[in-house]
Amino acid sequence: MNAIISASELASDLAGTNPPVLLDVRWQLSVAKAAGEPPFDGRAEYAAGHIPGAVYVDLDQELASAPGTHGRHPLPDTAHFGAAMRHAGVSAGRPVVVYDGGQGWAAARAWWLLRWTGHPDVRVLDGGLTSWEGSLETAEPTPAEGDFTPEPGAVDLLDADGAAALARTGVLFDARAGERYRGEVEPIDRVGGHIPGALSAPTNENVGPDGRFLPAEQLAARFKSLGATEGSGVGVYCGSGVSGAHEVLALAVAGIPAALYVGSWSEWSSDPERPVAVGPDPQ
């Protein structure tokens, strides 16, 4: 099954006999601005207009637990996540399509969590809401309660020790911007740099100017050129397990399975005992 769906395919599926559950996960990374710019409000964006039938999902509240020693977006409590998904109408026997405002990061986080907890049919709207050419609605739907019961472990998950080991024995991609990987800037976490042995592979290079993923063959060529050869273990991390999920999604489009280190740099860098590499050299 393809991990992404086009807007035209989604419109067709919504008109079919078994339409997917639609989840709207609009979110942006909030970084304090000197000018006092208000934080992004995904629920307000949703209320102003969403794809008909879509249910809003809050990334910070429903797709993550509270920030702490395990990073800025640790895994959510399984029971809490399951309740949120059932409230949104998610059932094991019904497909799910997730979208966000167009960046794809938040939608990919929801996609990854649903896959990790065992949902068999979930896709991301390629290009997000900006690719949708149909009408929008402001009414908030009240879907029937779903029956989805999360069963974690359906796809691979890395912890800090696993990520460190994979950087030595396989391929560990750092999905953040190159300047953060090199340690030239670090706007959020305690220290800049990367996990020793990790390779820089910014996730924004997996999409075109329209925000849609590059063709599968181009993505496969990119990742193979970076070392993701057949038989090699592949993992991804980012700042807090959000943009990294987008890179895992890009790898899935390319036909390359990959594990996600959810704690990512926000967890790794919080421990001064863990080694930090800087500069363009992975080591």
pLDDT tens by residue, 141-192: 999 999 999 999 999 999 999 999 999 999 999 999 999 999 999 988 999 9
The H-or-E segment that residue 7 falls in is: helix 7-14
- In this prediction, residue 32 has a pLDDT band, given cuts at 50, 70 and 90, of very low
Residue in 63, 160, 238, 259 annotated catalytic? 238
pLDDT of residue 91: 98
Q: Collect all residues with Cβ–Cβ distance below 8 Å to 281 and sequence separation of at least 6.
A: none
Residue in 185, 217, 180 with CA at minimum distance from that of residue 198: 180
**Residue 113, token pair as written in the block:** 């969590």
CB 105 within 8 A of CB 19: no
- In this prediction, residue 35 has a pLDDT band, given cuts at 50, 70 and 90, of low
CB 109 within 8 A of CB 241: yes
CA 230 to chain centre: 24
238 is catalytic: yes
pLDDT of residue 36: 64
Type of residue at 149: T
What's the whole-model pTM score? Answer: 0.95
